[in-house]
Structure formats: structure tokens, C-alpha cells
């Protein structure tokens, strides 16, 4: 029982926190990173983290249909990078929808265009014509060292990358994905949105043998901000901080209208920050499988850390699962990020 944040779970086995397996960037040796994203309110904050943190060398942002239609997500990625003063980062558009199953959107959470009611100025940079998967492949091929990936939307592009360019898998150092949950879901009681939106792709990724960290709802529901963050952001001079305040206010208002409280989980930022900060997220090793059936648990990530069962079934853990985070420290980090943006 080493993990106080999950003691409330209706489970009899409490996974022990274990050392992380994800690589860490440092100021001296920033980690090359690709973000695959469906911006998205919390995606906007995740991209800000990657732009600011000196431990990360952001190589590209690729888009995927998820929170909103993919063309909105692509445009949002371009405009957010422009706002953050990062026009040098290429953006390419990826999959419209999942490998199998219906198109899922979260526009009721993120607004029709993905960024609430916020309209950002157009970016001078335009989208790379080759598409998300080809851009990722080109960057992996060209990189002298393996590249990390932070998928923070449905896993469609990542599954396509793994299946289309298997020879490049050794060039992927780690996949730290926001998605899934060992406990309760959000799209359904079983499933978290990013996995629910493309369970077949998620199954390919979890079965790939690549090193994975699953930053799921178990940890991201503790990576929250409340309305007090708005006052802190207001003291900052940049347009980026003003935009963050606007995006967050949209979330707080929507959540309050739904009677869901006033705290917002900034899910996607946690997956990016895990590559930059050694002790922010506590993890445990789990064997995770994805339910890609059509049943009521479609999109569920079933995580097992019970040593008896794993041994009995001859299963090895296939990923780190994020379980703990200090909410206050997380909020302070987010303010610090926006204090460093234009």
C-alpha cells in the first residue's frame, strides 16, 4: 500500500511505485520529441510545455482528428506555435478518424473548433504537405539519436507509423501517451477518450513492444487547475498567458454548467512534462491490454500489476503507468511555463 492517491480504488492489489523507464531530457542534452495531438484545450497547454522547457527539443507537432475535426486541430497547432513564438516547429496533418469504428469527437468539451471560443491570429507558417505519418518517419530517419513521442490524442497516427515503417521502431526511444485509465474512464465508465476514439490503434501501440508510459486518468485527474490560476495568469504580460486564461475560463465555465466542479484536469501537459521533470509523476509497471471489442468496455485499458497473476499467466509488464503527481507543484509549473512565453 505504497500509493496513497489510489487507496480509494476498489482493488485489492495496490501497485508499488517503481523507477521510471521513460528517458529524461536535460538542459545540456534536450530530448528530441514529436507531439502528436488534437488541440484541444489541454493540448494547447501541453504544446506550451514542450516549447518552453529547455529539457525538450520539439521537432514537430502532428495533428490527429479527436477533440475536433482534424483540419481544426492542424490549424490550432500552427496558430498555437505561432502564439508561443515557435514558428520554426513544423506541423503536419494526420488521420481524420480512427482505423476502425465511428468518428468520435469531444467538441462538447473543447468547442466546435477545439479551442473553446478563442480565435487565434493566423500563423505565417503553413502545414507540411507530406502528412503526419510521413513527417514523423522522415524526422525519425534523419535524427542521429532515437526520438521520443508524446501522443496526446487518439493513437491513429502512431499505429500507422508503427505499421507503415516497422524498420523505424528502433528510432523511437519512448512513447509517453496521454490516454487510458486503470480505474474509471471518462468517455464511458470503462474508457478514456483518446483510447475510446480509436481502440484498434491503441491495441497496436500497446502490443508493439515499444517502451511506453501510459499517462492516464489515474494521474491526470490529480493534475488539476482551479479558478485561482486565472489571477496568477493575469499578472503575466504575454499574449500566451492571456490565451491560456481564456481557454481555462471556457473549461471552468463549462464544467460548472455541467455540475462537475471547478477543477480542470490538464491531462496532456503531464505526458510532455514527464520527459522533462524526473520526479513529477510517480509510475508503476503494469501489463496493459486494450479492449477493442464492440462491447460495453470498448476502449478500456485493462492494467494488471498483480505479481501472482502476471507470473501465473506468463505476462511481463509492458508499460509504466502514471499514478501520482503533486497538484500544487503542477500548477506552479504551468504558471512558470506561461511566464516564459511571449
Q: Which residues bind Ca ion (CB under 5 A)?
A: 38, 40, 43, 152-153, 268
CA gap 28, 57 in Å, rounded: 11
Name the catalytic one among 72, 174, 267, 274. Answer: 267
Least distance (Å) from ligand BDR to the CB of residue 82?
Answer: 20
Compare residues 25 and 40 and give the one whose CB is closer to Ca ion.
40
Least distance (Å) from Ca ion to the CB of residue 154?
Answer: 8
Helix (H) or strand (E) holding 51, with range, is helix 41-52
Compare residues 38 and 203 and give the one whose CB is closer to Ca ion.
38
In terms of DSSP bridges, do strands 319-325 and 281-290 run parallel, antiparallel, or are they unpaired?
antiparallel
CA gap 213, 284 in Å, rounded: 10
Residue whose C-alpha is closest to residue 297's, from 159, 176, 175, 203 = 203
> Which DSSP category does 94 fall into?
-
Least distance (Å) from ligand BDR to the CB of residue 76?
Answer: 11
Compare residues 106 and 201 and give the one whose CB is closer to ligand BDR.
106
Least distance (Å) from ligand BDR to the CB of residue 268?
Answer: 5
Least distance (Å) from Ca ion to the CB of residue 11?
Answer: 27
Q: How far is CA 174 from CA 103, 182, 219, 295, 327, in A?
A: 28, 20, 19, 31, 25
Choose the one of ligand BDR, Ca ion, none that binds residue 109, judging by a C-beta under 5 to 8 angstroms depending on kind. Answer: ligand BDR
Choose the one of Ca ion, ligand BDR, none that binds residue 301, judging by a C-beta under 5 to 8 angstroms depending on kind. Answer: none
Least distance (Å) from ligand BDR to the CB of residue 150?
Answer: 11
In terms of DSSP bridges, do strands 212-215 and 264-265 run parallel, antiparallel, or are they unpaired?
unpaired
- C-alpha grid cell, residue 236: 503575466
Q: How many residues does the chain have?
A: 342
Give DSSP secondary structure letters for 104-170: ---HHHH-TTSSTT--PPPPSS--BTT-HHHHHHHHHHH-SS-EEEEE-S-SHHHHHHHHH-GGGGG
Compare residues 127 and 150 and give the one whose CB is closer to ligand BDR.
150
Compare residues 137 and 290 and give the one whose CB is closer to ligand BDR.
290
Compare residues 89 and 177 and give the one whose CB is closer to ligand BDR.
177
Task: Summarize as ranges the residues that interact with ligand BDR (CB under 6 A).
Answer: 40, 42-43, 67, 106, 109, 152-153, 178, 186, 192-194, 267-268
Q: 267 an active-site residue?
A: yes
Choose the one of ligand BDR, Ca ion, none that binds residue 218, judging by a C-beta under 5 to 8 angstroms depending on kind. Answer: none
CA gap 218, 182 in Å, rounded: 7
The backbone torsions φ and ψ at residue 322, rounded to the nearest 5 degrees and listed phi first, read -70, 130
Neighbours of 187 (CB within 10 A): 16
Catalytic positions are 267
Amino acid at each position: 500500500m505504497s500509493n496513497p492517491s489510489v487507496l480509494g480504488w476498489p482493488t485489492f492489489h495496490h501497485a508499488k511505485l517503481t523507477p521510471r523507464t521513460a528517458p529524461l531530457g536535460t538542459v545540456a542534452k534536450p530530448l528530441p520529441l514529436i507531439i502528436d495531438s488534437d488541440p484541444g484545450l489541454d493540448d494547447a497547454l501541453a504544446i506550451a510545455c514542450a516549447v518552453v522547457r529547455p529539457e525538450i527539443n520539439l521537432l514537430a507537432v502532428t495533428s490527429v482528428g479527436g477533440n475536433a475535426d482534424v483540419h481544426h486541430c492542424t490549424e490550432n497547432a500552427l496558430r498555437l506555435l505561432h502564439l508561443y513564438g515557435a514558428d520554426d516547429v513544423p506541423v503536419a496533418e494526420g488521420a481524420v478518424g480512427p482505423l476502425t469504428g465511428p468518428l468520435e469527437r469531444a467538441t462538447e468539451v473543447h468547442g466546435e473548433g477545439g479551442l473553446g471560443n478563442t480565435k487565434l491570429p493566423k500563423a505565417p507558417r503553413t502545414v507540411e504537405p507530406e502528412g503526419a505519418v510521413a513527417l514523423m518517419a522522415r524526422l525519425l530517419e534523419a535524427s542521429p539519436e532515437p526520438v521520443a513521442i508524446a501522443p496526446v490524442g487518439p493513437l491513429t497516427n502512431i499505429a500507422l507509423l508503427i505499421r507503415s515503417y516497422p524498420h523505424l521502431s528502433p528510432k523511437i526511444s519512448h512513447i509517453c501517451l496521454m490516454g487510458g485509465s486503470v480505474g474509471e474512464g471518462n468517455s464511458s465508465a470503462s474508457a478514456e477518450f483518446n483510447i475510446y476514439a480509436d481502440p484498434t490503434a491503441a491495441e497496436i501501440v500497446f502490443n508493439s513492444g515499444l517502451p511506453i508510459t501510459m499517462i492516464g486518468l489515474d494521474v491526470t485527474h490529480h493534475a488539476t487547475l482551479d479558478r485561482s490560476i486565472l489571477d496568477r495568469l493575469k499578472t503575466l504580460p504575454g499574449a500566451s498567458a492571456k490565451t491560456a486564461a481564456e481557454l481555462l475560463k471556457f473549461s471552468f465555465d463549462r464544467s460548472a454548467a455541467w455540475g462537475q466542479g471547478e477543477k480542470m484536469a490538464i491531462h496532456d501537459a503531464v505526458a510532455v512534462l514527464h520527459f522533462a521533470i524526473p520526479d513529477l509523476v510517480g509510475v508503476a509497471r503494469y501489463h496493459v491490454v486494450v479492449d477493442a471489442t464492440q462491447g460495453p468496455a470498448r476502449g478500456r485499458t485493462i492494467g494488471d500489476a498483480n505479481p501472482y497473476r502476471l507470473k501465473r499467466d506468463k505476462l511481463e509488464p509492458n508499460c509504466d503507468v502514471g499514478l501520482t503527481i503533486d497538484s500544487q507543484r503542477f500548477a506552479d509549473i504551468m504558471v512558470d511555463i506561461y511566464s516564459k512565453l511571449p
